[in-house]
Structure 1
Amino acid sequence: MGFPGTWMTESESVVYRVVPKCACSSIGQIMFYSDHGRFFDGDIHDSTSGLHKWSQDESQKAIERNVKGHQSYAFTCVRNPYARILSSFFDKIAGIQRNGKRYRGNLVPQLIQKYGIEVGSPEDNFDFDQVKSFRRFLLFARDTIRWRRPMEPDIHWSAMSGHISTFIVNGGQYDHIFFTEKFNEGMQVVLDNIETAHPIDLATIPRFNESEGHGPKRVHKVSDYFDDLSRHLVWEIYKKDFQLFKYDFDDPDNKMPIGEVDLAEVHAKLGD
């Protein structure tokens, strides 16, 4: 299986396991800059050179050798599961993608038909019942993850623990896991542990939020989207994420972690 979703600088200064919707655009651009002294012109997910990626065939041997030998500092980044699934909905389901189209072609029409979801459009200023549609989307997300119907689960809403575990199961080891909500603090730990060709000042680095501005703005506080049933579904899907990455299940409005990640526990529980 190898190391899907793994990126590494060309200098092999650092290895990163991508977790979608967890600041991956910013992290990728910082890695690119650390080698080249400039940012990638465009969405870093579209780059095909300047950064080793498992999805690039010519990068796989270098990544596999490095990760299995734990030759470089390896890290990943996590995010509050409530905020992450909401972000997935507003970006991938309600939003228009960078190419001007809906995500995954016929996915949104399928959701409208099978789950009664509404998403509005740029023409009506995305005027729809966000709470009702999000809760129906959550049912769909649970169905894909639990039963793989009506489709396989998408990387943007499948559990973080699933992404993070493939790296461990296939022979990798993390040196650091930090929180999107404490981005500068967590990323600085990474930078303090590696040598970069070009210095990085996190205070001046722009945030690369590639999904921003392509869809509706969230109009309610987080807890308004999650009634009792929704929270039950969230626990069913993301129980491990809450437990391992120390997020507050009881208060959806508390986006901050309530403890530190225990790397030994993560490796033990996700390494089966």
Structure 2
Amino acid sequence: MGFPGTWMTESESMVYRVVPKCACSTIGQIMYYSDHGHFFDGDIHDAQAGLHKWAMDGSQDAISRTVKAHSSFAFTCVRNPYTRILSSFFDKICGIQRNGKRYRGNLVPSLIYNYGIEVGGDDGKGEFDQIQSFRRFLLFARDTIRWRRPMDPDIHWSSMSGHVSTFVVNGGRYDRIFWTERFNEGMQDVLDHIDTPHPVNLSEIPRFNESEGHGPKRAHPVEDYFDDLSMHLVYEIYKRDFELFKYDFENPANKMPTGEIDLDEIHAKLGD
């Protein structure tokens, strides 16, 4: 299986397991900058050079060798499951993607038909009941994850622990896992452990939120989207994420972690 979703600097200074909706655009641009002294012109997910990616055949040998030898600092970044699934809904379901089309072709029309959601019209800018539509989307997300119906789960709402685990199961070991909510602190710790061809001053790095502007603005506080049933569904889907990455399931309004991530626990539980 190898190391899907893994990026590495060409200088082999650091290895990153991408977790969608968890600052991956910013992290990728920092990696690119640290090697080249400038940012990639465009969405870093589109870069076909300047960064090793598992999805590119020419990068797989270098990534495999480095990860298995643990010769580079390996890390990933996670996010509160409540805000992550909300972000997925507004970006991927309600939003128009950068190619000017809806995400995954007929996905949104089928959700409108089968789950009764609304997305703000053809351009995603119309008024609609965000809370009701999100809760219906949550049913769909649960169906894809629990029963793989009516489709396999999408990478943007499949569990973070699922993404993180492939790296461990196939022989990798993380040196650091940090939270999006404490991004500067976590990313700085990564940079403090490595030497890069070009120095990175985090205070001067912009946030590359490539999904921003795709969809409608969230009209309510996070907690308003989650009633008792929604919280139950979220826990059913993301129980392991809450436990391993130390997030507060009981209070959707609290996006901050409640404890420290235990790397030994993660390697033990995800390495099965």
- How far apart in 1 are the matches of 2:85 and 2:125? 22
Q: Secondary structure at the match of 2:204?
A: coil
What percentage of residue pairs aligned between the two structures are identical?
78
Report what 1:75 is aligned to.
75
- How far apart in 2 are the matches of 1:125 and 1:49? 35
Give the structure-2-normalised TM-score.
0.99
Shift of 1:123: 5.2
Residues 1:212 and 2:215 aligned together? no
Shift of 1:120: 1.1
Report what 1:38 is aligned to.
38
- How far apart in 2 are the matches of 1:161 and 1:212? 25
- How far apart in 1 are the matches of 2:148 and 2:216? 28
Q: Write out per-residue CA displacement over residues 149-200 of structure 1, whole angstroms, 9 at most, x where no aligned residue.
A: 0000000000000000000000000000000000000000000000001111
Give the structure-1-normalised TM-score.
0.99
Report what 1:164 is aligned to.
164
- How far apart in 1 are the matches of 2:268 and 2:121? 45
Q: Output the amino acid matched with 1:117.
A: I
- How far apart in 2 are the matches of 1:6 and 1:23? 14
Report what 1:186 is aligned to.
186
Shift of 1:99: 0.8
- How far apart in 2 are the matches of 1:124 and 1:187? 33
Equivalent residues of 1:18, 1:24 under 8 A apart: yes
Equivalent residues of 2:5, 2:54 under 8 A apart: yes
Report what 1:89 is aligned to.
89
Equivalent residues of 1:88, 1:157 under 8 A apart: yes
Equivalent residues of 2:111, 2:117 under 8 A apart: yes
Equivalent residues of 1:126, 1:215 under 8 A apart: no
Equivalent residues of 1:7, 1:18 under 8 A apart: yes
Equivalent residues of 2:124, 2:216 under 8 A apart: no
Distance 1:168-1:212 versus aligned 2 partners, 3 A rule? same
- How far apart in 2 are the matches of 1:125 and 1:83? 21
Equivalent residues of 2:94, 2:124 under 8 A apart: no
Report what 1:256 is aligned to.
256
Residues 1:24 and 2:24 aligned together? yes
Structure 1: stretches of 5+ with no match in the other structure: none
Shift of 1:122: 6.2
Report what 1:269 is aligned to.
269
Shift of 1:124: 7.3
Q: Output the amino acid matched with 1:99.
A: N
- Kindly tell me the number of residue pairs found equivalent between the two proteins: 272
